[in-house]
Amino acid sequence: MSDKTFVDTNILVYAHDLDSGKKHEIAQKAIINLWDTGTGVISTQVLQEFYVTLTKKVPVPLKKSLVRRILNNYLAWDVAVNNGETILQAIEIEENYHISFWDAMIVSAAYFKNAAVILTEDLNEGQQIEGITIVNPFKLP
């Protein structure tokens, strides 16, 4: 069984958004753990959404140059590059599990990289999708 953990955009954003309060603390601890264990997985979709969110959508946007440097560091992780195969699989996942296409792309990328877990607050805690366990770190005791 894989020990890889795929990180959705929202968790990554909270880890770097100092104005996220308790979610920042929880997400930051999760990300630090993944750095320490070398088990973090992300996708090109997550990196793109991360950049746009931190430079345009958070209440206090970060400088683009800073986010570019942070993003560059995450290239050391296992990065899933979305392609035609992951898109087609995402369409099947969307149909089979009745989730959004973009969430299905996250699942497809995680599946492609053999992740055991997806950290996200966008899907149902404990749900199994394509053999991957959904974990919402903000619902843990």
The CATH superfamily label for domain 5-135 reads: 5'-nuclease (3.40.50.1010)
- 91-134 confidence digits (pLDDT tens): 999 999 999 999 999 999 999 999 999 999 999 999 999 999 99
Domain boundaries, the chain: 5-135
Task: Read off the pLDDT of residues 122-139 as tens digits, 9 standing for 90 and up.
Answer: 999 999 999 999 999 999
pLDDT, position 140: 63
The pTM score is 0.95
> Is residue 34 classed exposed, middle or buried when 0-12, 13-18 and 19+ CB atoms within 10 A define those classes?
buried
